[in-house]
């Protein structure tokens, strides 16, 4: 595992930055009736990230019924100051990663990082550890369910129907249903930075994330119809994921996905 400290000028605003290397080949995982949300925090500016991006793409290419996870890729922006601006990066995704670090009792932020079920993490290329964490997460008692239906998809917007239910429990904190739109099949010629002169392929790139439903403390259910705006610059290989998450703990309790194909 390789760690890279940011220049002193950036230390006041950026946490420790690390890059991890490893085997990119994803290990097969058994399918589950309760798929686990897996979030990859990555950047085109990090030379250790392409193997993790490739592993995520290979995993996402499997039919939904043949994998135990629902993968998403969040491109962080703190690498943008170091030679190459990732066109898919967002400060919001960097903030999401930092919130996970705080929830897990750590101030360490690095790429590539996988967050499993909102409650565990590992290096983005450590497929053996990923398998273990996915199995542990999937085996936990079911606390919530979520359903997702694509009602219409056009060039300007997608309309989805989403519903979630939190199991009744006196100590259950509030939860919310989030909806993420992602894009597949993105190829970028990188001109500068650690991946200069490489053509990088990215799938499951999150383009939009929004709260759709609030679920009360103690349990309950809710539903909504969501209109997701589509930027004209985005391609046509889009998909949508809905998941139930606790804002206080960031645990992801359930996830579902849908595509237009």
Flag the least confident range among 11-20, 128-137, 154-163, 167-176.
11-20
Residue 33 has pLDDT above 90, yes or no: no
> Each residue of 94-135: pLDDT tens digit?
999 999 999 999 988 999 999 999 999 999 999 999 999 999
Q: What is the CATH number of domain 2-259?
A: 2.60.40.10
CA separation, residue 206 to residues 104, 144, 173, 181 (Å): 23, 23, 27, 6
Q: Considering just the CA atoms, what is the radius of gyration of the chain in Å?
A: 18
Residue 261 has pLDDT above 70, yes or no: no
Q: Give the global pTM.
A: 0.88
What pLDDT is recorded for position 34?
86
> Each residue of 46-63: pLDDT tens digit?
999 999 999 999 999 998
What pLDDT is recorded for position 65?
82
Which three-class secondary structure state does DSSP give residue 79? coil
Our measurement of the distance from residue 79's CA atom to the centroid of its chain's CA atoms, rounded to an integer in Å, reads 18
> Each residue of 239-250: pLDDT tens digit?
999 999 999 999
């Amino acid at each position: 595992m390789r760690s890279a400290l940011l220049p002193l000028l950036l230390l006041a605003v950026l946490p420790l930055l690390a890059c991890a290397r490893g085997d990119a080949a994803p290990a097969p995982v058994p399918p589950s009736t309760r798929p686990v949300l897996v979030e990859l925090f990555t950047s085109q500016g990090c030379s250790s990230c392409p193997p993790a991006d490739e592993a995520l793409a290979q995993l996402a290419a499997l039919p939904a019924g043949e994998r135990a996870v629902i993968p998403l890729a969040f491109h962080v922006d703190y690498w943008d100051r170091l030679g190459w601006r990732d066109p898919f990066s967002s400060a919001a995704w960097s903030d999401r990663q930092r919130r996970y670090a705080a929830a897990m009792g750590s101030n360490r932020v690095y790429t590539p990082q996988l967050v499993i079920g909102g409650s565990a993490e590992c290096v983005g290329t450590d497929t053996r550890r990923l398998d273990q964490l996915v199995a542990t997460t999937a085996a936990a008692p079911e606390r919530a369910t979520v359903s997702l239906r694509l009602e219409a998809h056009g060039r300007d917007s997608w309309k989805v129907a989403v519903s979630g239910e939190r199991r009744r429990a006196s100590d259950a904190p509030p939860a919310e249903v989030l909806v993420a739109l992602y894009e597949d099949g993105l190829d970028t010629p990188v001109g500068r930075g650690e991946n200069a002169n490489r053509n990088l392929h990215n799938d499951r790139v999150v383009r939009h994330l929004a709260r759709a439903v609030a679920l009360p403390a103690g349990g309950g259910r809710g539903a909504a119809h969501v209109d997701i705006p589509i930027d004209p610059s985005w391609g046509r290989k889009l998909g949508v994921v809905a998941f139930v998450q606790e804002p206080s703990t960031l645990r992801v309790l359930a996830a579902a996905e849908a595509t237009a194909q």
